[in-house]
Chains A and B, each alone.
Chain A
């Protein structure tokens, strides 16, 4: 991790409350992420980890503190948010593919409509991404005709079509059959090897051990512990982390 480069994502004392019930979901979060870093965020459900990464591309708003993504402060400035969203790709737990469009149409939608690329250029770039996730032969199928693992790989390819600087993964394998988890994780490992900045909320500890530079453990809205994977899994510093690890690594 280069000390001289500014962090690509910076959380400064960020706090968020849910408007509906006033629940304090992010508490004094102070984190920074460097370019090219691969970070796994883990924790029990309701710990705010999904909310944390959804703040990065302004899918969620925060009330206090300052969040800077690639030089842009995330706030009320809509143009800034648009700029950030073009540089940050996101993969969801529920895939969120557009079911009424074919796989190829899903991928070329943003390049043709947002980046205003000509259609044939966009198709070429889309096919490159489909090859990258090893799903090029299904380009003309509809998402619902594919298996869960295939759909998630298409979702990853769709996010990659915008050549983002940062990729956010919100529990990408949690909705998949166990047999399909491996194919998606392999794609993510491939991405990691190519130098992409990745923030991944996941329960897949094997993946964390394989590629993560850092593991962040969150509980009840705050960062409890962050460390390298080896250190975190073998020598957890806090009781809360020890408790969590005993539960998830037990079975």
Chain B
């Protein structure tokens, strides 16, 4: 029997397929049962929001008035604590008159970090820009030259300290972690053992112990009179700590790469470091971007542990500001909301950046 082939042209999908209404229909109102559940949940959410709005905005006190705050305790939030103590919390013990210096320095640092995040700025000038930025940052913060009053490092605090500790530690920890991960996978027994020992020792202790040791025990090993600045000790501690965790993340990415990639690179005559730089690391690192950003976001908040060595970054500065002041101490909750918001803004920005990197590297994976 003769059969003829008549090609069927593609036709559009019936009904609503795109747009907000279509999304609502498929996800929230797909069946009568689901629609009722959606409405019930919506009702609960609105009721909770209404209650929260009352405390947060409608009845809240925004001015720095103790009497108003005390009279509305339990009914309205006292945002006056932020108005009154906000600057102390964000800046720490840095002298009041010199607050412009951390603001400019931190903005500069965040700006350079921002441009480093965009591949179009990755050129030979970038390391130089970093060096210049670091020199300017520390000169500005420390002072003592160019007519700036000197501010000892143990007075640095608040958000600028959190940002500085995170940026400097992460920038040094990331290359270290890549080398440690490659070292763990190396054929050379000495390097492999060294890297494994480093990772397992550091992962075996909490960050607080590492900071404690770096701060209090390191000077004991130093010869007489040699004083290492407390910030340097803390930065080294945080760097070594994060590098150990990031090394394992990178090693996971290296393991996930098919062996054929390195074999093909070998048959093309590429050396070990050429293979790592052009073939292995670009693929392995782009695979573990979510995990790495996870570590960065975690470390940003773990810097709050430097309180143990009497450095008052954002969380420590809050404790410092409110513990001493009995008047405002009852309103610690609102102050914590305030720094939570600050942490959230930074961490959310890092999350978004992570997603952006993933999208970019997915271009080559789209079929």
Partner of A90, one of B267, B363, B364, B365: B267
B-facing residues in A84-118 (Cβ within 8 Å):
85-86, 88-90, 92, 94, 96-101, 109-110, 113-114
Whole-angstrom distance between the alpha carbons of A230 and B263 in the complex?
Answer: 35
> B336-367: contact bitstring with A at CB < 8 Å (1 yes, 0 no)?
00000000000000000000000001011111
**Residue A237 is within 8 A (CB to CB) of chain B in the complex:** no
| Residues of A contacting B264 in the complex (Cβ-Cβ under 8 angstroms) | 90, 92, 96-98
* Given contact pairs A94-B258, A96-B260, A100-B283, A109 touches B268 in the complex (Cβ within 8 A): yes
| Residues of A contacting B274 in the complex (Cβ-Cβ under 8 angstroms) | 113-114
**Residue A64 is within 8 A (CB to CB) of chain B in the complex:** no
For the complex formed, measure the closest distance between the CB of B254 and the CB atoms of chain A, giving whole angstroms.
15
Most chain B CB atoms below 10 A, which of A59, A85, A96, A101: A96
For the complex formed, measure the closest distance between the CB of B269 and the CB atoms of chain A, giving whole angstroms.
4
**Residue B278 is within 8 A (CB to CB) of chain A in the complex:** yes
| Residues of A contacting B270 in the complex (Cβ-Cβ under 8 angstroms) | 109-110, 113-114
User: Nearest residue in B to A102 (C-beta to C-beta)?
Assistant: B364
Partner of A82, one of B269, B365, B366, B367: B269
* Given contact pairs A100-B282, A100-B283, A59 touches B364 in the complex (Cβ within 8 A): no
For the complex formed, measure the closest distance between the CB of A133 and the CB atoms of chain B, giving whole angstroms.
17
For the complex formed, measure the closest distance between the CB of A169 and the CB atoms of chain B, giving whole angstroms.
12
User: Nearest residue in A to B274 (C-beta to C-beta)?
Assistant: A113
User: Nearest residue in A to B361 (C-beta to C-beta)?
Assistant: A100
**Residue B139 is within 8 A (CB to CB) of chain A in the complex:** no
- Tally of contact residues, B, Cβ under 8 A: 23
Whole-angstrom distance between the alpha carbons of A110 and B274 in the complex?
Answer: 10
Partner of A162, one of B261, B266, B269: B269
Contact between A114 and B268, CB atoms less than 8 A apart: yes
For the complex formed, measure the closest distance between the CB of B288 and the CB atoms of chain A, giving whole angstroms.
14
Contact between B367 and A144, CB atoms less than 8 A apart: yes
| Residues of A contacting B279 in the complex (Cβ-Cβ under 8 angstroms) | 98
| Residues of B contacting A82 in the complex (Cβ-Cβ under 8 angstroms) | 269
For the complex formed, measure the closest distance between the CB of A50 and the CB atoms of chain B, giving whole angstroms.
12
User: Nearest residue in B to A93 (C-beta to C-beta)?
Assistant: B260
A-facing residues in B225-281 (Cβ within 8 Å):
258, 260-261, 263-270, 274, 278-279
Contact between B365 and A88, CB atoms less than 8 A apart: no
**Residue A145 is within 8 A (CB to CB) of chain B in the complex:** yes
Whole-angstrom distance between the alpha carbons of A92 and B367 in the complex?
Answer: 21
Contact between A99 and B266, CB atoms less than 8 A apart: no
**Residue B286 is within 8 A (CB to CB) of chain A in the complex:** yes
| Residues of A contacting B361 in the complex (Cβ-Cβ under 8 angstroms) | 100
A-facing residues in B177-236 (Cβ within 8 Å):
none
* Given contact pairs A113-B274, A142-B364, A144-B364, A96 touches B269 in the complex (Cβ within 8 A): no
Whole-angstrom distance between the alpha carbons of A159 and B361 in the complex?
Answer: 26
Contact between B283 and A59, CB atoms less than 8 A apart: no
For the complex formed, measure the closest distance between the CB of B353 and the CB atoms of chain A, giving whole angstroms.
20
**Residue A158 is within 8 A (CB to CB) of chain B in the complex:** yes
For the complex formed, measure the closest distance between the CB of B256 and the CB atoms of chain A, giving whole angstroms.
13
* Given contact pairs A98-B261, A100-B286, A89 touches B365 in the complex (Cβ within 8 A): no
Contact between A92 and B266, CB atoms less than 8 A apart: no
Contact between B365 and A99, CB atoms less than 8 A apart: yes
Whole-angstrom distance between the alpha carbons of A89 and B270 in the complex?
Answer: 13
User: Nearest residue in A to B367 (C-beta to C-beta)?
Assistant: A144
User: Nearest residue in A to B262 (C-beta to C-beta)?
Assistant: A96
Contact between B367 and A145, CB atoms less than 8 A apart: yes
B-facing residues in A235-249 (Cβ within 8 Å):
none
Contact between A144 and B366, CB atoms less than 8 A apart: yes
* Given contact pairs A113-B278, A114-B269, A144-B367, A92 touches B283 in the complex (Cβ within 8 A): no
| Residues of B contacting A15 in the complex (Cβ-Cβ under 8 angstroms) | none
Partner of A110, one of B261, B269, B367: B269
Contact between A145 and B260, CB atoms less than 8 A apart: no
| Residues of A contacting B268 in the complex (Cβ-Cβ under 8 angstroms) | 85, 109-110, 114, 158-159, 162
Whole-angstrom distance between the alpha carbons of A109 and B271 in the complex?
Answer: 12
A-B contact pairs, 8 of them (CB 8 A): A59-B267, A82-B269, A92-B263, A96-B260, A109-B278, A114-B268, A142-B363, A142-B365
